[in-house]
């Protein structure tokens, strides 16, 4: 069977990829030599967090930190208590009308975590379960973690993530405990050091300023997981670019988009998710390509990259701890539908080229 590049390159000239573009690829997945201890394994980490969660969730609009304790749990029980400052964070999921339990920011003392699995960590984002009672919300967390893992398979220019199984112990309610899955996300500064690039402190950009190969790969990845909740061109008013994407670069080089926050994707299909009313989709599971027409010559390489990793991506889903059988089967079917949509030039033309921006 011909590769996607071979199959597509016999079609219109726009799909001919230059050898130089392939050999100079900035998107190959790198090794883990510079990955910090927390993100060097994908085993689920069991932890306990003791904190005044009643106050945190009541005063969630406050940026004031509350004191807490963080324990890594092993077979012998909870480990040494690490001091941690905790506050709520985020936008949509931080609002009480959307989530009963908001995402958190964990602020550790660097000197205290030295020599532990958290060595090198400072301020970490914790993606939480949103709702304490419904299992579907917790499945959304596991599926969002898989989105990060899938992107890690495709490129080293991606945030690392670690799935946790957390006992949230509310010190204000007789230590009432909720045990849920959560995700720790690699700090931005750690990402920049690992990939040897700098954050681009810029308000907005044009597609011409973006690296075509990385941008197209990200566009195809977002199409794979059915995500439209991102923009590599601009962010919120008076904030640095971009929406659910950070831009990085080296001096004199094009800007590289690195995405995060995948909870509104079709793969995750979170119970609270709804499509952007400005887009022509009726539900978040409906795919819509958001790549740029000027980068279409990079599509064969990006599609090949994702196709080459099809078995690896399927294995991630099949082997994921915490994913229920129904969620696993639904995720695999959803991913298979992506490959149907890029299986031939006619499908790519209909589903991606005609929808490009």
Residues 244 and 309 in one domain: yes
Please name the residues in contact with 278: beta carbons below 8 A apart, sequence gap of 6 or more: none
pLDDT at 34: 77
Residues 181 and 200 in one domain: no
Question: Does residue 38 belong to any structural domain of this protein?
Answer: no
Model confidence band, residue 239 (pLDDT cutoffs 50, 70, 90): confident
Q: How many domains does the chain divide into?
A: 2
Nearest to 169 by CA among 61, 71, 88: 71
C-beta separation of 147 from 261 below 8 A? no
Task: Report whether pLDDT(145) > 60.
Answer: yes
Give the domain range for residue 79: 44-190
Task: Report whether pLDDT(284) > 50.
Answer: yes
Q: Encode pLDDT of 87-104 as tens digits.
A: 999 988 999 999 999 999
Residues 50 and 156 in one domain: yes
C-alpha distance across the termini of the chain, in Å:
31
Question: Does residue 50 belong to any structural domain of this protein?
Answer: yes
Task: Report whether pLDDT(14) > 70.
Answer: no
Q: At what angle do helices 135-154 and 212-225 cross, to 10 degrees?
A: 150
- Among 139, 157, 190, the domain-final residue is 190
Task: Report whether pLDDT(3) > 90.
Answer: no
C-beta separation of 351 from 219 below 8 A? no
Residues 186 and 258 in one domain: no
Residues 161 and 217 in one domain: no
Residues 221 and 349 in one domain: yes
Residues 217 and 335 in one domain: yes
The single residue listed with the structure tokens 């495709």 is 154
Q: Which strands form 245-249's sheet, in the order they lie side by side?
A: 198-199, 245-249, 256-259
Question: Does residue 100 belong to any structural domain of this protein?
Answer: yes
Question: Does residue 337 belong to any structural domain of this protein?
Answer: yes
pLDDT at 247: 97
Q: Encode pLDDT of 149-172 as tens digits.
A: 999 999 999 999 999 999 999 999
Q: Percent of the chain having pLDDT more than 70?
A: 91
Question: Does residue 37 belong to any structural domain of this protein?
Answer: no
pLDDT at 237: 83
Q: How many CA atoms lie within 13 A of 49 on its CB side?
A: 28
Residues 200 and 94 in one domain: no
Residues 227 and 180 in one domain: no
Mean pLDDT of the chain: 91
Question: Does residue 228 belong to any structural domain of this protein?
Answer: yes
Residues 186 and 254 in one domain: no
Give the lowest-confidence range in 129-133, 237-241, 312-316.
237-241
Q: Encode pLDDT of 299-338 as tens digits.
A: 999 999 999 999 999 999 999 999 999 999 999 999 999 9
- Among 150, 165, 190, the domain-final residue is 190
Residues 58 and 21 in one domain: no
Residues 25 and 155 in one domain: no
Question: Does residue 268 belong to any structural domain of this protein?
Answer: yes
pLDDT at 341: 96
pLDDT at 182: 98
pLDDT at 86: 98
Task: Report whether pLDDT(130) > 60.
Answer: yes
Question: Does residue 270 belong to any structural domain of this protein?
Answer: yes
Model confidence band, residue 137 (pLDDT cutoffs 50, 70, 90): very high
- Among 155, 190, 225, the domain-final residue is 190
Mean pLDDT, residues 14-37 taken together = 48
């Amino acid at each position: 069977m011909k590769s996607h590049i071979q199959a597509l390159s016999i079609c219109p000239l726009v799909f001919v990829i230059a050898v130089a573009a392939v050999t100079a690829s900035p998107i190959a997945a790198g090794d883990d030599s510079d990955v910090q201890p927390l993100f060097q394994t994908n085993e689920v980490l069991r932890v306990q967090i003791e904190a005044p969660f009643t106050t945190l969730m009541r005063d969630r609009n406050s940026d004031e930190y509350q004191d807490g304790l963080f324990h890594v749990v092993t077979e012998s029980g909870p480990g040494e208590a690490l001091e941690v400052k905790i506050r709520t964070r985020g936008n949509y999921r931080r609002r009480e009308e959307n989530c009963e339990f908001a995402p958190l920011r964990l602020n550790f003392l660097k000197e205290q975590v030295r020599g532990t699995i958290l060595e090198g960590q400072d301020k970490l984002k914790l993606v939480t379960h949103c709702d304490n009672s419904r299992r579907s919300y917790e499945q959304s967390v596991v599926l969002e973690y898989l989105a990060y893992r899938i992107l890690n398979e495709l490129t080293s220019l991606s945030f690392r993530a670690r799935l946790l199984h957390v006992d949230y112990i509310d010190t204000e309610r007789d230590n009432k405990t909720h045990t849920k899955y959560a995700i720790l996300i690699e700090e931005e500064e750690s990402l920049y050091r690992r990939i040897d690039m700098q954050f681009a402190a810029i308000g907005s950009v044009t597609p011409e300023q973006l690296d075509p190969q990385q941008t197209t790969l990200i566009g195809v990845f977002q199409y794979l997981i059915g995500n439209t909740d991102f923009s590599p061109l601009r962010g919120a008013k008076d904030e640095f670019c971009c929406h659910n994407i950070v831009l990085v670069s080296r001096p004199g080089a094009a800007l590289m988009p690195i995405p995060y926050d995948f909870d509104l994707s079709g793969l995750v299909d979170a119970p609270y998710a709804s499509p952007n009313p400005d887009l022509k989709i009726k539900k978040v599971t409906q795919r819509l390509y958001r790549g740029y027409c000027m980068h279409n010559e990079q599509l064969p390489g990006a599609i090949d990259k994702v196709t080459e990793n099809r078995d690896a991506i399927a294995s991630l889903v099949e082997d994921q701890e915490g994913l229920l059988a129904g969620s696993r089967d639904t995720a695999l079917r959803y991913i298979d539908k992506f490959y149907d949509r890029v299986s031939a030039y006619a499908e790519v033309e209909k589903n991606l080229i005609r929808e490009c921006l």
